[in-house]
Structure 1
Amino acid sequence: MADLLPKLLSFPPHPPPAKPLSDQAYDEGIREQIDVVGKLTESKLLQQTSGGEHALDVINPSLNSIPYAYILLANISAMRKANSKGVDFETLWDKMIGFLVSFDPRQIRYIGEEFSAIVDAVAGLAASNRQSYLAVAPIATALTRLDPTGSMLTTHHLTLVKLALESRNFAAATQVLDKFILYVPGVPTVTKPKFICDMNLSPVTFITDKSKLTGKFKYVDVLEYFLYSGMIYMGMRDWDKALQCLESAITYPAKENNVSKVMVDAYKKWVLVGLLLEGKLLPLPKSTSSGAAKCYHVMAKPYETIAQIFESGTASRLKSEAEFGVHIWRGDLNYGLMLHVLSAFQKFQIRGLANIYSKISIPEIVSQTTSAETGNKLPTPQAAELLIQNMITSGELHATMSTSATGPSILTFSPKGQVLTESQMQRELAGSTERILALTKEIKQTDRLLTHDKEYIKFVQKQKKHVKQGGSGDQGIGVENMDWNDAIEDEDIMGTMY
């Protein structure tokens, strides 16, 4: 290994030259290095240094990601073969994690297959040892390093959400899930970049199935990512983000209105999450095709019935309907979510009192609201005070509660809702500005890709022809009219219905 180290560490130059390498020089240098390292046998990559050290202890993964990745994979292979020349399991695990959180994102673009193999190894080893939670944070960090915009969906995203759901390590995945997905692999009109080391490139140009930084996607994979992301946010009680993710699934383009089982599952959860957010059955997004909407209404009828009762019915009727359909909620894995809906019913009743009163006593609240969990009123004013105080503390209710030694406690509703401090407002504005600027840049790229897509151009020409023949130019076009969606392969669409 001693004679190999100079070759392995020859690129990129360190310390960096005063004048940074051009993209062309960088591209040539790194390809030469990969050509050298890629020809080394596993036995050579496993050799120790002259001082008896493992190469993984000598090479810095953040400076020399290419040779480190190859040596790491050689050790992973040795472990699977029970080859004693590799490092022990605990050391190897630490090295794999260290690599994922520190690799050079510029270098990694050139070794997509090796990067993906390391991600898969981390996920597989964690799952096989029933410690999936250990893999969530490093894989999330790796995806963020690979694509700081987070706008490109990869097969590793799907691995991430599955691990997070399996281990209930939700928070560690949100650095990836919080990003807006704008692209999926397989965009046909992407122009191949001259040098993939150009750090100004959009992720859609270098994260492709050909670069091996992601695997190939099937139609159902995209839907599952949005569904599982929504379930993660549900686990965190972040109903707003959960609703956004589920909405991405239910509005996803479907060929000839063939909504899949995943889309129906997402809609059922979307109905219940909408109740937790707004207390009513939300209207479907305008981008939902009419055919898909009809399917949803038929297949999720019991859920819509619950929503209608929640909005205008009584606590006892809601409780009865929920108990009657318990086999449905359990079969759909929505029983826990239904319990949240029952718990939320009285909270919405309490919040609704703000439309009538500015102040109200706790005994009056007890008399005017009913729990859908029990079908009865709260047993004591103290129980109501505890519920209301928890609502105030969690931000579910904007009000103050005052106690009196001589009379009942009084709830005073805040007419303005939650008031942010100046520093909180500044952080909100700064965060919003940053997100808008990032999205604007990616949306420009998306527009360019779309306007050069042959199927989309045919669709636009068809619409223009329709207008010339006397049709309306504004039809509220649904997915069923978009011929350019016919490119979705039939075998990639899950046709299983309830």
Structure 2
Amino acid sequence: MDNLLPNLLSFPPHPPRPTPMSDYLYDQGIRDQIDFVKKLADSKLLQQTSGGEDVLDVINPALNTVPYTFILLANLSALKKGTKGVDMDKIWGKMTTFLGTFDPRQIRYLGEQLSTIMEAVANIAVANRQPWMALAPIRDALLRLDPTGSMLTTHHLALVKLALESRSYKAIVPVIEKFILYFPGITNQPKPKYICDMSINPVQFITPTSGLTQKFKYQEVLEYFLYSGMVFIGLSNWEGALQCLENAVAYPAKEGSVSKIMAEAYKKWILVGLLHEGRLLSLPRSTSANAAKQYHTLAKPYETLAQIFENGTASRLKAEADQGVSVWQNDCNTGLVLHVLAAYQKFQIRNLANIYSKISIPEIVSQTMSAETGNKLPSPQAGEKLVQDMINQGELHATMSSSPGQPSVVTFAVSGPVLTEPEMQNELAAATERIHALTKEIKQTDRMLTHDKDYIKYVQKQKKNAKQGSLGDQGISGADMEWGDAIEDEDIMGSLY
């Protein structure tokens, strides 16, 4: 191994040259190194140094990602074969450390190898009945590969499945909270001259060809959005859940048809909308008329429940929930419905802020009702506990005060929670950063649409229909036509392959 180390560590040059390498020289250098390492037998890569050290303890994965990757894979292969001297715990530690430290530039040339390591981490964790152990390493690898998080990969889907299987949700939030803008295999993308160019868009180097992802099936994209929404539901993050579920609900489908996954997402979307906003939300504007009709039919019990939540009484809401028990159970939405019943009185209490600036606890108890029981709370003490819990959890912007011998009084905050100056500065800085990031991505997607054959076809049909004033005998105006309606059936998933 001592004889091999100089060649294994020859790229990138260390210490770095005074003048950064051009993309051309970098591309040449890393390809030559990969060719050299690939020709080495596993037996050579598994050799120890003359001092008896494991070479994985010698090479820095953040600096020399290429040789470290292939040596790690050689160890994995030996582990599968049951080779003596290969320790499972040590290899696990090396893999998880690697996924959080590899060089993002070098790894672009090692797509298949990175995918193999990520899959091995997931498989080992599942085999040991500890799927949660794979979450942080895979999360770190995805964000290291693409800090924008805008490119969906098959590893994203595997990650959310692991989270749901292990019921460990918080670890993957940094991944699923990112806005997905691109899918594997998007057509009409210019091929980058050098994938080491750090200014190129992730859609140009994270491709099925590069091995950093596989192709997506239509239903797998929907699964990712549905499962991400379920993860946010598990965290009671209703806003995040709404966004993910809406992505599934509004996803384009041929002839405006609604798949089983989309219907499942819509049912959950209705319930989460109640928990977040206290009302039945309107379908996204991009939803076609045919899809909307199907949604209303398939989710009628949910829409009825939502309408009662918004305009009915607590007893009616409880009765409707009780009547639909089998529906909620079959759809695995019983937990969400119970949350909805618990939220009914909380929204009533919050709405009192529109009428009162101050109100006593006994008055709150008399003016609101619990949908969990269909009755008023049993005592002022129960009302005080509910209000205090809401204040503590940030669900009610108010303060509660009490005087000896007098009932507690709730004072509503007029303008919501009061932020300190540092908190306000942090909020503004975060908002500014998000706006800059989204502006950059919007410009990129605009450029992509300019050359997308399906979008061009849609625009042409819009212009043609605008001149005609209608679409034949259907009585549909050109302005009402959806982009998805303009795409041929076989092209619905064209942008994904």
Shorter-normalised TM-score: what interval? over 0.9
Q: Distance in 2 between matches of 1:201 and 1:489?
A: 24
Matched with 1:332 is 331
Does residue 352 of the first structure (1) align with residue 351 of the second (2)? yes
* Secondary structure class of the residue paired with 1:360: strand
Match of 1:24 in 2: 24
Q: Deviations over 1:48-91 (max 9, x none)?
A: 22222211111110011111111111111111111114x30000
Whole-angstrom CA distance in 2 between matches of 1:353 and 1:486? 53
Does 313-322 or 379-388 show the bigger shift?
313-322
Q: Deviations over 1:177-215 (max 9, x none)?
A: 121111001111111100000011110110000101111
- Secondary structure of residue in 2 paired with 1:186: coil
User: 1:283-322 residue pairs with structure 2 within 5 A?
Assistant: 283-322=282-321
CA distance in 2, matches of 1:445, 1:473: 31
Maintained 8 Å contact 2:12/2:30: yes
Q: Which amino acid aligns with 2:131?
A: S
Output the CA distance in 1 between the equivalents of 2:106 and 2:403.
67
**Does 59-68 or 435-444 show the bigger shift?**
435-444
Which whole-Å CA distance do the structure 1 matches of 2:325 and 2:360 have between them? 36
Question: How far apart in 2 are the matches of 1:294 and 1:207?
Answer: 37
Aligned to 2:149: 150
In structure 2, what is the equivalent of residue 439 of structure 1? 438
**CA RMSD for the aligned pairs?**
1.6
| Contact map agreement 1:24 1:195 (CA 8 A) in 2 | yes
Match of 1:48, SS state, is: coil
User: Residues 356-379 of structure 1, C-alpha deviation per residue, up to 9 Å, x if partnerless?
Assistant: 222211111111111111222111
Give 1:286 shift: 0.5
Matched residue, 2:55: 55
- Identify the residue that residue 165 of structure 2 maps to in structure 1: 166
How far apart, CA to CA, are the structure 2 residues paired with 1:489 and 1:207?
18
Instruction: State the 1:159 CA deviation.
Output: 0.9
Instruction: Give 1:450's aligned residue.
Output: 449
Equivalent residue for 1:180? 179
Matched, 1:138 2:137: yes
Indicate if the aligned counterparts of 1:45 and 1:71 stay in contact, CA closer than 8 A. Answer: yes
Matched residue type, 2:379: T
Q: Distance in 1 between matches of 2:467 and 2:160?
A: 48
What TM-score do the two structures reach when normalised by structure 2?
0.96
8 Å contact from structure 1 (residues 459, 484) kept in 2: no
Q: SS where residue 411 of structure 1 aligns?
A: strand
Q: How does 1:226-265 map to 2 (within 5 A)?
A: 226-265=225-264
Q: What is the aligned partner in structure 1 of residue 410 from structure 2?
A: 411
Alignment partners' CA distance in 2, 1:270 and 1:479 = 23
Q: Which runs of 5+ in 1 are unaligned?
A: 493-498
Say whether residues 1:279 and 2:278 are aligned partners: yes
What SS is found at the alignment partner of 1:400? strand
1:333, distance to aligned residue in structure 2 (A) = 1.2
Structure 2 residue 486 is matched with structure 1 residue 482: yes
Q: Is the 8 A contact 2:288 2:482 kept in 1?
A: yes
Q: Which one-letter code corresponds to 1:290 in the other structure?
A: A
- Following superposition, the deviation at residue 406 of structure 1 comes to 2.4
Q: Following TM superposition, by how much is the alpha carbon of 1:488 offset from its aligned partner in structure 2, in angstroms? A: 2.6
Matches of 2:88 and 2:416, distance apart in 1: 54
What is the match of residue 473 of structure 2?
A: none
Question: Which residue does the alignment assign to 2:35?
Answer: 35
Cα deviation for residue 489 of structure 1 reads: 5.1
Shift of 1:93: 0.4
SS of the residue corresponding to residue 268 of structure 1 reads helix
1:480 & 1:295 partners in 2: Cα distance? 16
Aligned residue identity for 1:140: R
Query: 1:259–1:295: 8 Å Cα contact kept in structure 2?
Result: yes
What's the counterpart of residue 119 of structure 1? 118
**Alpha-carbon separation, structure 2, partners of 1:196 and 1:159:** 25
Q: Is this contact kept in 2: 1:161–1:229, CA < 8 A?
A: yes
Asked if the contact 1:288/1:479 (under 8 Å) is kept, the reply is no
Structure 1-normalised TM-score? 0.95
2: distance between equivalents of 1:291 and 1:91?
A: 56
Q: For 1:11, what is the secondary structure of its paired residue?
A: coil
Rounded to whole Å, the distance in 2 between the matches of 1:473 and 1:41 is: 66
Distance 1:336 1:209, change over 3 A: same
Q: C-alpha displacement at 1:419, in angstroms?
A: 2.3
- Separation in 2 of the partners of 1:68 and 1:80? 18
Partner of 2:11: 11
- The answer to whether structure 1 residue 192 and structure 2 residue 191 are counterparts is yes
1:341 aligns with 2:350: no
Give distance in 2, aligned partners of 1:485 and 1:363: 61
Q: CA deviation at 1:473?
A: 8.5
Give the counterpart letter for 2:15 in structure 1. P
Secondary structure of 1:105's partner? coil
1:223 Cα offset (Å): 0.7
Which residue of structure 2 aligns with residue 203 of structure 1?
202
Cα offset, 1:37, TM superposition: 0.6
Aligned equivalents of 1:25, 1:39: Cα separation in 2: 22
Residue 482 (structure 1) shift: 2.4
The sequence identity of aligned pairs, in percent, is 65
* Cα displacement (A) at 1:13: 0.7
**Cα distance in 2 for residues equivalent to 1:456 and 1:308:** 37
Per-residue deviation at 1:485? 6.8
Instruction: Name segments (4+ residues, structure 1) moved above 6 Å.
Output: none
Q: Tell whether the 8 Å contact from 1:290 to 1:478 is kept in structure 2 after alignment.
A: no
Give the drift of 1:479: 4.6
Q: Distance in 1 between matches of 2:295 and 2:136?
A: 35
Aligned pairs (5 A) from 1:349-428 = 349-428=348-427
What amino acid maps onto 1:391 in structure 2?
M
How far off is 1:480 after superposition?
Answer: 4.7
1:216-269 deviations in whole A, cap 9, x for unaligned? 111111111111111111111110111011001100100112211111111000
Cα distance in 1 for partners of 2:483, 2:468 equals: 22
Per-residue CA deviation, residues 321-371 of structure 1 (Å, 9 max, x unaligned), is: 112211211111111111110110111111111222222111111111111
Matched with 2:70 is: 70
Task: Quote the offset at 1:486 in angstroms.
Answer: 4.4
